[in-house]
Amino acid sequence: MNSPVGAGVVNRLCATLDRLGKGYAWFDARLRLLAWNDAYAQLLALPAEVLTLRAPLQSLVRFRAERGDYGTSDVEALIDEQLARCRANEAVVSEQQLGAGSALRIVLQPLAELGVLQICEDISEAYNARQALLQSEERYDFAMRAINEGVYDWDLGDDTVYYSTRVREALGLAPEQLRTANDWGSRIHPDDFPIFRAAYVAHVKGETGRFECDFRYRAQDGSWRWARQHGLALRDGSGRACRIIGSTGDITELKQAELELGRARDALEEQNQRLRAEIEAHRRSQATIEYLVDEIRSEHRFGEIIGRSPVLKQLTAQMELVAETDSTVLILGETGTGKELVARAIHELSRRRDKPLVKVNCAALPRDLVESELFGHEKGAFTGATQLRRGRFELADGGTLFLDEVGELPLELQVKLLRVLQEQEFERVGGDRTLRTDVRLITATNRDLQGLVQLGEFRSDLYYRLNVFPLRIPPLRERREDIALLIQHFVAGAAKKTGKALTGVDADFLERALRYDWPGNIRELENAIERAAILATGTKLTDAEFIDAPPAPTADGVESIAAMQSLEQVEREHIRRVLKTTHGVIEGTQGAALKLGLKPSTLRGRMRRLGIHKHE
C-alpha cells in the first residue's frame, strides 16, 4: 500500500484491520482515495472501475446510493452531514441493512492532516440476532397488552379483521359493526384518519418497528372517544407484510386525565413565571447583579485568542506565568489589539477564576463619578445618591478588577487608587468606615504612561505600582502570520450575522489583507470582514469587497510634527461640528459616537485629550 510520508501509524492500523478481516479505505484531507484492501471492495461490492486511486469519497457514496444501498434517504444531505462532522474531527458511525439478513457497520474516522479512514465490518450475525430479540420482546409486549385490552388479527390479503370480544366490549361496538378494516376506518375521526393511515403505511413498508397510534373513533352512542392501537406486521419470505396482529383499547379516561394534567401544568407554569419575575426583580435591586447585567449586555469583542505567530506564543507563555500569581499586570497595546481579552484570559487561568472579573473603562466614566464607581457611595453622599451603592472594588472582592484605559484616570483619583494598592483598604464616598478588599488588579492602556509621568499627568509612584509585570500586545502588523486564521474566524462570524453561506476569502483578498498595516488592529480587521460580507455576492469574499487602500505615505515615509498638529486640529474641529449637530448627545442612534464610527468610550477619551466639551 502506498502511503504519505510520516503515516506509519495509519499503516500499522491498516495492517491490523487486514488481520481482523475488516475492510478499510484511506482518503486524504481532500477526501480522495489513497489506499484500500480487498475486504473493503468486497463488503461494499464496489467494482474496479469505481474503486480507483484518488476517487472522491462522495462519488463512492453516490454510486452505492444509485444502486439502492441507502433506500429512500436523502444522500446529498447525508454526505453534507458526514463531511461536516469529519471537518469537526468527529467520528461518524452508521449501520446499513443491505438485504435479507445482511448488514454492515461503517465508521468514518478523521485522522487530522492525514485525512480520513473508512472502516467496514460485516455485522450480519449480530444484527439478525438483535432483530430477532426485538421481535420477541415486541410479541411479548403485545401479549401482555392483550390481557387487558383485547386483540385483533388483520389479514392484509383479503382485508378481513378478527376482533376479540374484549375489543368489542371495550369499544362498545356490536360484532356486525366490525368485520373489515374499512368498517373500522369509517369510524375514525376525519382529522385523525390521515395520522392513522400514515402510521399503518410506514409500518407495512418496514419504516417503523411497530404500528402505534392514538386516535378518536365514533362509539355506539354517537360520541367521540379515544382509542390506542398497537400492531406488529408478520412478513412472508420476501419481506412483504401479509398480516398485522396487535391490541386495541379505549383510553378516553386517560386522555381526559392528560388534558386535566396539561391544564394544571399550564397553570403551574404561569404561577412559576410570576414567581420567577418577582425573584428576578428582587435580584436586580442588588448591586452585584446590576453589575453582572451590565457585563452581560456589554459586547465581548473576541471569544478566544487566535494565532500561532511566535510573538503571540511568547505573549501567552507570559500570561500563563503571571496568571499563577497575584501580581499586578499592566497590559500595553494599541487600540483594537484585544487588551480586555488578555485580561479575561489571565483571570480564567488564575486561582481566582471562580470569583468575579469586574471591568471598569476609566475613559467611559464621567470625571465626577469615577470615585463613586470605583469605591461606592453611601446613601445621601451627594445629590441623586438615593441608596447605598457598592463600588467596583467591593464587587471584585476575592476576584480580579480590570481597569481599562487607566491612563485616563484623573490625578486626584490616582492618589486613592495608590492607597488601595498599598494598603488594600478604602472608604465609600460620603462614608467614614474603612473597608478592606482582596483584589487582584489588572490594568490596560494604549497611551505612553512614562510620557504622561514626564508631563505631570500621571503619578510616578502609581506608575511603578502598576508596572510590576508589563505585557505588551503586539499590533496586527507584527503578527501577519495570524491574519489568515483571524480572517477565517471572522468570516464564520460574519456568515452567521448576515445569514450568508460564506466559506472564506479569495487569494487576492488575502494578499491585500497581508499587505495592509491594520492601524485599527484586530477590531479594524473584524469590521472590514463584516463590511465585505455585507457586500459579498458569492461564497467567498473577493478583492472587490476589500476595504479601500490606506493613504499613501509621504515622500520620506515620515510625517512632520507640523502635519501631526494640523491633523489633530482637523480632528478637533470635526468632532466639535458633529457634537453641535447632535446637541451634545454622545450615545444612542442619534449620538455623535455612531456618526463618527467610534465607541462612546473612545469618543469621550478623544474629547478629553483634545480639550473638547460636549456643550461647546
Cα-to-chain-centroid distance, residue 393:
33
Mean pLDDT for the stretch of residues 78-103: 81
What's the rounded Cα separation, in Å, for the pair 104 and 94?
A: 8
pLDDT for position 525: 92
Cβ atoms < 10 Å from Cβ of 199: 20
DSSP state of 188: B
Q: Which residue's entry shows cell 520620506?
A: 556
Q: Which residue's entry shows cell 484605559?
A: 405
Condensed to tens digits (0 to 9), the pLDDT of residues 533-576 reads 888 888 999 887 786 544 434 434 334 333 444 566 777 888 88
Is pLDDT at 191 greater than 90 in this prediction? yes
CB 529 within 8 A of CB 562: no
Does residue 460 sit in helix, strand or coil? helix
Task: Tell me if the pTM is above 0.85.
Answer: no
When pLDDT is cut at 50, 70 and 90, the band that residue 321 belongs to is very high
pLDDT for position 297: 36
**Of the candidates 186, 185, 164, the residue with the CA atom closest to the CA atom of residue 175:** 164
Question: Which strand (E) or helix (H) includes residue 426?
Answer: strand 425-427
C-alpha grid cell, residue 227: 382509542
Contacts of 476 by beta carbon, 8 Å cutoff, 6+ apart: 337, 482, 483, 486, 518, 521, 522, 525
Is pLDDT at 461 greater than 90 in this prediction? yes
**Of the candidates 127, 151, 129, 128, the residue with the CA atom closest to the CA atom of residue 139:** 151
Q: Which residue's entry shows cell 386525565?
A: 257
Is pLDDT at 302 greater than 50 in this prediction? no
What's the rounded Cα separation, in Å, for the pair 248 and 228?
A: 6
DSSP character string of 117-139? EEEEEE-HHHHHHHHHHHHHHHH
57-67 vs 75-87: helix crossing angle, rounded to 10: 150
Residue type, position 468, single letter: V
What ranges do the domains of the chain cover? 8-122, 129-250, 296-471, 476-545, 561-610
pLDDT for position 559: 42
CB 530 within 8 A of CB 497: yes
**Of the candidates 219, 215, 226, 228, the residue with the CA atom closest to the CA atom of residue 172:** 219
CB 222 within 8 A of CB 150: no
CATH number belonging to the domain at 296-471, selected among 3.20.20.370, 3.40.50.300, 3.30.930.10, 3.40.50.12280: 3.40.50.300
Residue type, position 168, single letter: R
More confident residue, 523 or 125: 523
**Of the candidates 128, 138, 79, 140, the residue with the CA atom closest to the CA atom of residue 104:** 128
CB 593 within 8 A of CB 586: yes
When pLDDT is cut at 50, 70 and 90, the band that residue 404 belongs to is very high
Cα-to-chain-centroid distance, residue 371:
38
Condensed to tens digits (0 to 9), the pLDDT of residues 268-288 reads 888 888 888 777 766 665 555
Mean pLDDT for the stretch of residues 305-312: 88
Mean pLDDT for the stretch of residues 168-178: 67
Cα-to-chain-centroid distance, residue 307:
20
pLDDT for position 566: 52
pLDDT for position 569: 72
Fold classified for 129-250: Beta-Lactamase (3.30.450)
The radius of gyration computed from the CA coordinates of the chain, to the nearest angstrom, equals 36
Is pLDDT at 230 greater than 60 in this prediction? yes
CB 73 within 8 A of CB 63: no
Measure CA of the first residue to CA of the last residue in the chain; give whole Å.
80
CB 536 within 8 A of CB 500: yes
CB 315 within 8 A of CB 346: no
- Which long-range CB contacts under 8 A does 83-92 form with residues at least 24 apart? 83/31, 83/58, 86/31, 86/110, 86/116
**Of the candidates 64, 123, 104, 110, the residue with the CA atom closest to the CA atom of residue 83:** 110
When pLDDT is cut at 50, 70 and 90, the band that residue 8 belongs to is low
Contacts of 358 by beta carbon, 8 Å cutoff, 6+ apart: 291, 392, 395, 396, 399, 400, 401, 402
Are 8-122 and 476-545 in the same CATH fold?
no
Strands 469-472 and 329-332: parallel
Cβ atoms < 10 Å from Cβ of 19: 7
When pLDDT is cut at 50, 70 and 90, the band that residue 101 belongs to is low
Condensed to tens digits (0 to 9), the pLDDT of residues 570-609 reads 778 888 888 888 888 888 888 888 888 788 888 888 888 8
pLDDT for position 132: 64
CB 401 within 8 A of CB 393: yes
Is pLDDT at 6 greater than 90 in this prediction? no
CB 249 within 8 A of CB 226: no
Contacts of 365 by beta carbon, 8 Å cutoff, 6+ apart: 373
Average pLDDT for the chain = 81
C-alpha grid cell, residue 58: 462522495
CATH number belonging to the domain at 476-545, selected among 3.40.50.150, 2.40.10.220, 1.10.8.60, 1.20.950.20: 1.10.8.60
When pLDDT is cut at 50, 70 and 90, the band that residue 170 belongs to is low
What's the rounded Cα separation, in Å, for the pair 199 and 246?
A: 14
C-alpha grid cell, residue 492: 464564520
CB 231 within 8 A of CB 244: yes
What's the rounded Cα separation, in Å, for the pair 596 and 605?
A: 14
Contacts of 498 by beta carbon, 8 Å cutoff, 6+ apart: 530, 533, 534
- The dihedrals phi and psi of 547, each to the nearest 5 degrees, come to -65, 160
What's the rounded Cα separation, in Å, for the pair 572 and 578?
A: 10
DSSP state of 551: P
- In this structure, what is the dihedral angle of CA atoms 560, 561, 563, 566, given to the nearest 10 degrees? 180
Cβ atoms < 10 Å from Cβ of 114: 18
Cα dist from 7 to 11, 228, 570, whole Å: 6, 59, 62
Cα-to-chain-centroid distance, residue 365:
33
Cβ atoms < 10 Å from Cβ of 230: 22
CATH class of segment(s) 8-122? alpha beta
